[in-house]
């Protein structure tokens, strides 16, 4: 961590959860490209998003995955939608789960947001399928 202290328990838990959801390759890539400028941000999301919210025991990773995809789609966060659709292979959220989440987005956040997120999800699922076939 940037202040030369040992990582907190929450950071360690966050890193474990982040790796479980996004995969080692994604996290290693994010870590390796981190600079002094964005390192505090990486530490923040590891502790807060992954160590606090994603690591809570009340919801499963599958449930958090579904909600996260819906929220990101509603907000138009395309890169994050793609990343979290890719993460469904680790969270247990099914393609039907993603479809249902995006149907909710269409009703509660708008058809254009859902339509665009569906396009992204289809592309990610095609990439996943192509990887399985190779």
5-32, pLDDT tens digit by residue? 688 999 999 999 999 999 999 999 999 9
Rounded-to-integer distance, Cα 4 and Cα 62, Å: 35
115-130, pLDDT tens digit by residue? 999 999 999 999 999 9
Return the structure tokens found at 85: 């659709």
Report helix, strand or coil for 92. Answer: coil
pLDDT band at 132 (very low <50, low <70, confident <90, very high): confident
pTM beyond 0.85: the answer is yes
The confidence score (pLDDT) of residue 54 equals 98
| Listed residue (90, 79, 4, 2) closest to 46, CA to CA | 2
The confidence score (pLDDT) of residue 6 equals 80
Where along the chain do its domains lie?
1-58, 59-134
Q: Domain 59-134 sits in which CATH superfamily?
A: AhpD-like (1.20.1290.10)
């Amino acid at each position: 961590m940037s202040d030369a202290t040992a990582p907190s328990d929450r950071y360690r838990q966050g890193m474990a959860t982040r790796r479980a959801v996004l995969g080692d390759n994604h996290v290693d890539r994010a870590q390796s490209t981190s600079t002094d400028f964005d390192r505090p941000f990486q530490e923040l999301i590891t502790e807060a998003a992954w160590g606090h919210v994603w690591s809570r025991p009340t919801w499963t990773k599958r449930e958090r995955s579904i909600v996260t995809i819906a929220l990101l789609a509603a907000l138009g966060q395309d890169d994050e939608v793609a990343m979290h659709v890719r993460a469904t292979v680790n969270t247990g959220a099914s393609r039907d789960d993603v479809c249902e989440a995006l149907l909710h987005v269409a009703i509660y956040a708008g058809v254009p947001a859902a339509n665009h997120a569906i396009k992204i999800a289809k592309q990610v699922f095609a990439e996943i399928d192509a990887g399985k076939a190779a």
